[in-house]
Amino acid sequence: MIEISDLPTVNATLNGIACCFLVAGYCFVKQGRTQSHKRCMIAAFSISILFLISYLTYRFAGAEKKFGGQGWIRPVYFFILITHIVLAASVPILATRTLYLGLKGRWDAHKKWARWTFPIWVYVSITGVLVYLLLFVIFGPAKP
């Protein structure tokens, strides 16, 4: 059974998997393999929905963790965290709109949105994993 304390690991894993699907989907579309691209992007979107459910569950039920790292890593961590949070707020809107346009076959609009959505979504996925590693694995939470 998954406990609330397991959710940060679940969230980081889901972020990593979504990132893999995003990159694979990007590679497929560049190769002209549009069906594979479509499958990967739908998978990335679906996994991101699972992530959002898991993340919100943790945020509302889990204890807040404060970063335990000291020295030069603190401003680096907080820069990564702040940019991650700010950009993560845009991903549900950007990803939903981009996916919708693609599924409707509105290719020109889909491409315009994807030029913004893809790098932001990948950045958020990577930095989500990085924040997890810094907070829970490498430095650990601050001691109470």
Task: Give the global pTM.
Answer: 0.94
Range of the structural domain that residue 71 is part of: 4-138
Does any domain span residue 144? no
Give per-residue pLDDT as tens, 80-96: 999 999 999 999 999 99
- Distance (Å, whole) CA 10 – CA 16: 10
Question: Band of the pLDDT at 125, cuts 50, 70, 90?
Answer: very high
Task: Please count the structural domains in the chain.
Answer: 1
Burial (CB count within 10 angstroms: exposed 0-12, middle 13-18, buried 19+), residue 81: middle
Does any domain span residue 130? yes
Does any domain span residue 115? yes
* The predicted structure's pLDDT at residue 112: 98
Query: Does residue 141 surpass a pLDDT of 90?
Result: no
**For position 110, which CATH number holds?**
1.20.120.80
Give per-residue pLDDT as tens, 35-46: 999 999 999 999
Does any domain span residue 94? yes
* The predicted structure's pLDDT at residue 64: 80
Q: DSSP class of residue 139?
A: S
Question: Band of the pLDDT at 63, cuts 50, 70, 90?
Answer: confident
